[in-house]
Structure 1
Amino acid sequence: MKLTYIAACLASFLAFGAHAQVSDNVVKIGVLNDLSGVYSDLSGQGSVIAARLAIEEFGGKVLGAPIELIFADHQNKPDVAANLARTWFDQEKVDMTTDFPTASTALAVMEIAKQKNRVTMPSSGLATAILGERCNALTAQWTTNTYALAAGTARALVKEGKKSFYFVTADYTFGHSLEKDATEVINHDGGKVLGVSRHPFPGGDFSSYLLKAQSSKADVIALANAGNDTINAIKQANEYGITRKQVVAPLLAYISDIHSIGLEKGQGMYLSEAFYWDFDDKSRAWSRKFFEKAKRMPTSAQAGVYSATLNYLKAIEAAKTDEAGAVMAQLRKMTINDAVIRNGKLRADGSLVHDMLLLEVKKPAESKEPWDYYKVKAVLKGEDVYPAPNPACPINKS
């Protein structure tokens, strides 16, 4: 009887010891994104499903503590995102936030998370400003960024002899970043930019911007926007017959966008992506699990939420704590290889450098099944497409 009592006490002590390394005896992850607006198709509920798949794969617990998931709609507004983040950190005891399909919302939450000693892992907040003067040691820009996207697509077009570009740009942080980074690549590789038209975010009627781009006679009309803005711009370019004379190149396009546009209008377009569901056996196996839940294939943003969540949990397990600084230090030690990210290394400034894919949209006759939309033209090595560390980032100055 006495031995049984001692054993029970020891078991209780060991359980307490495991939980003692997890704040509040629970690891809580928050998906903060657009659930109702222009980016809900590329992130939205699909990102919530992706995070749940990562938690289920991990077994629902880490260091003996349960893993919980919450989510909310930031409406693509930085002030809404900031208010939600404060509530999450102070009242809900959220340990990590992910997704952010607008860089402005990610930047707003990053600062609060730093103050509260919490981790931020943007999966779809892509502006390189996240790696600039406001970078911090508790943020990991997980899936990709605007420079890597531009380096893949713009460089491929210049190599094919498309030397002149005209930008149609969303007039906010993300669009400016994509335009700036693509311009740097174009100029470096011997191309030139003939002009820019900036449209409100979100947009609607792109006719005036597209007609200006058409009159420039640029080889390429580069779309520095995303989501419904990209979809509508491509559809309207087809209606005006622009695509028969000039290349319309989305510098960021998700598979959900191609699904909406259709292969007839999208065929032949080049784009760069961090993830494609039909790349190899690992990506196909995970994507089919996602499809069972979502009834559609994942975007790279949604897949990035899965990868960020899974590797965050792996880092907690390895570090034996959910303390933000320790978890981030562990993530920087790891090589990230999963169904989504290949050959990934997290830099001190928060950039996850990894291999990217250069893709071409298939012709309708080339597609063998639903969501079979791309030909993989090349695997782009991370060190070739990711930007060098930004000297404006305080971490890079130390």
Structure 2
Amino acid sequence: MKSVSRFVLALMAGTMMGSAAYAQEAPIRIALMTDLAGPTADYGGQGGMEAIKMAVEDIGGSINGRPVEIAFIDHQNKPDIAVTKAREAYDNGTDMIINLSNSAAALGVMEIAKAKNKVVIVTGAGSSKITGDACSPNTVHFAFNAYSLSNAPVEALTRAGDDDWFLIVSDFAYGLSVEGAVTGAVDQAGGKVVGTVKHPAFMATDFSSYALQAISSGAKVIGLSNSSSDTTNSIRALKEFGLGDDQKMVAFTLLINEIHGLGIDQASGLVYATAFYWDRTEATREWSKRFYERVGKMPNMVNAGDYSGTLHYLRAVEAAGTSDADKVLEKMHEMPVNDMFAENGRVREDGMMVHDMYLVQVKTPEESKYPWDYLNVLETIPAEKAFVPLEQSECPLVAKD
């Protein structure tokens, strides 16, 4: 019996040692889950793929002797598909999922990550609920949210006397989140929203009636509380039907490649906030030119966020010495984010990675001197002003006095 017991103990010890060795040698698995070819592919797609690859390459392809493996998952802008594929990915060993363009998809995947104690980094969706009342200890929100994209343009224009607003709103989770943030910001700045009109998300192709309602309202500012093709279609319709000489357009979610697609003459004068502009510093230019060589276009703020979020996660894995979600998330909250995307960024209690934002205006064709020279940076909005103050957060993870 003693020999049998010794054999069992030896077998158990060997199994434990083998498991530990496997854990050290097993790949670190990350997945970009996004719209790979649909209406919001600019928020993921090829740009997201290459940004993730660049981050893995820049950290050397492995962490603490463990190779990093990448998967690309198309959620097709359908929250149910996103949830199903996230569950499958996590069950099959994925440690972290990133991007999640489409706020409804992001909110669904956040629940799966929490239930399975895995990491999710949201870079492609902006609902304020992500770090608000739906916040999760397993989620980090990079790049932007509805508040950071709406507060700066509203404050700056209202301060200049443009205090009457009309909103064209996409009737889905993110568009409604932006509408709420804009309405609150306008009210706080002393302005007023004189009217709104809602359209179905990514289904409307004729924006003429929405544009005509906005123009005829007489509002000094027409705000576009939508994204992707809905925003560019809104801009085209407003230009076609003739904005008044004293009317301005503000887009609350716009990417530089959408300006490229519109043409600078169509987008000229448009004001918006962004987390990243490729031509802002030497560091942004150096990284962006590398990106351009791979993709054939300059990166937008989501591409840059995908790179930065992946790099921050992998550095946290390295610092923690493990891919255990709790320990990695602890390091992600502890470690600052310093790269071409953010300077001294930090992950707060609510999961928001706060960083400077930039208020920009699209140049005139005459001002643009070389390809992709599209933006004037009007203001730098410091992190503490760019995001909702922590004491006002609705996230239950935030300690209340």
How would you bin the TM-score normalised by the shorter chain?
A: over 0.9
Question: What code does the residue aligned with 2:48 have?
Answer: S
Sort the Cα spacing of 1:117 and 1:207 in 2 relative to 1 into closer, same or farther, 3 A.
same
Of structures 1 and 2, the one with the larger relative CO (CA 8 A, separation 6+) is 1
Q: 1:369 deviation in Å?
A: 1.1
Sort the Cα spacing of 1:231 and 1:329 in 2 relative to 1 into closer, same or farther, 3 A.
same
Q: Deviations over 1:216-262 (max 9, x none)?
A: 11111100011111111101111111264421211111101111111
Question: What code does the residue aligned with 1:194 have?
Answer: V
Partner of 2:84: 83
Mapping of 1:46-85 within 5 angstroms? 46-85=47-86
How far apart, in 2, do the equivalents of 1:99 and 1:162 lie?
35
Give the number of equivalent residue pairs: 382
Q: 1:208 deviation in Å?
A: 1.1
Partner of 1:150: 150
Where do 5+ consecutive residues of structure 2 fail to align? Answer: 1-16
Where do 5+ consecutive residues of structure 1 fail to align? Answer: 1-14
How far apart, in 2, do the equivalents of 1:17 and 1:315 lie?
22
SS of the residue corresponding to residue 242 of structure 1 reads coil
Q: What root-mean-square deviation, in Å, do the aligned CA atoms of Structure 1 and Structure 2 show?
A: 1.6
Q: 1:342 deviation in Å?
A: 2.0
SS of the residue corresponding to residue 49 of structure 2 reads helix
Q: 1:156 deviation in Å?
A: 1.3
Question: What code does the residue aligned with 2:255 have?
Answer: Y
Q: 1:351 deviation in Å?
A: 0.8
Aligned partners of 1:349 and 1:395 also within 8 Å: yes
Question: What code does the residue aligned with 2:146 have?
Answer: T
How far apart, in 1, do the equivalents of 2:58 and 2:246 lie?
48
Question: What code does the residue aligned with 1:383 have?
Answer: E
Partner of 1:216: 217
Question: What code does the residue aligned with 2:285 have?
Answer: R
* Range with greater deviation from structure 2 (206-215 or 60-69): 206-215
Aligned partners of 1:38 and 1:227 also within 8 Å: yes
Aligned partners of 1:18 and 1:63 also within 8 Å: no
Identical aligned residues as a percent: 38
Partner of 1:107: 107
**TM-score, scaled to structure 1:** 0.93
* Structure 1 position 167 matched with structure 2 position 167: yes
Partner of 1:370: 371
Partner of 2:8: none
How far apart, in 1, do the equivalents of 2:20 and 2:371 lie?
46
Q: Deviations over 1:125-153 (max 9, x none)?
A: 11101012221111011111110110111
Partner of 1:96: 96
* Range with greater deviation from structure 2 (386-395 or 62-71): 386-395
Sort the Cα spacing of 1:245 and 1:205 in 2 relative to 1 into closer, same or farther, 3 A.
farther
Aligned partners of 1:19 and 1:64 also within 8 Å: no
How far apart, in 2, do the equivalents of 1:42 and 1:110 lie?
18
How far apart, in 1, do the equivalents of 2:380 and 2:292 lie?
25
Partner of 2:5: none
**TM-score, scaled to structure 2:** 0.92
Runs of 4+ that moved beyond 4 A:
15-22
Question: What code does the residue aligned with 1:36 have?
Answer: A
Q: Deviations over 1:104-129 (max 9, x none)?
A: 11100000011111111011111101
Mapping of 1:187-266 within 5 angstroms? 187-202=187-202, 203-242=204-243, 244-266=245-267
SS of the residue corresponding to residue 395 of structure 1 reads coil
Aligned partners of 2:154 and 2:189 also within 8 Å: no
Aligned partners of 1:275 and 1:340 also within 8 Å: yes
Mapping of 1:345-356 within 5 angstroms? 345-356=346-357
How far apart, in 2, do the equivalents of 1:271 and 1:172 lie?
21
Aligned partners of 1:221 and 1:246 also within 8 Å: yes
Aligned partners of 1:21 and 1:320 also within 8 Å: no
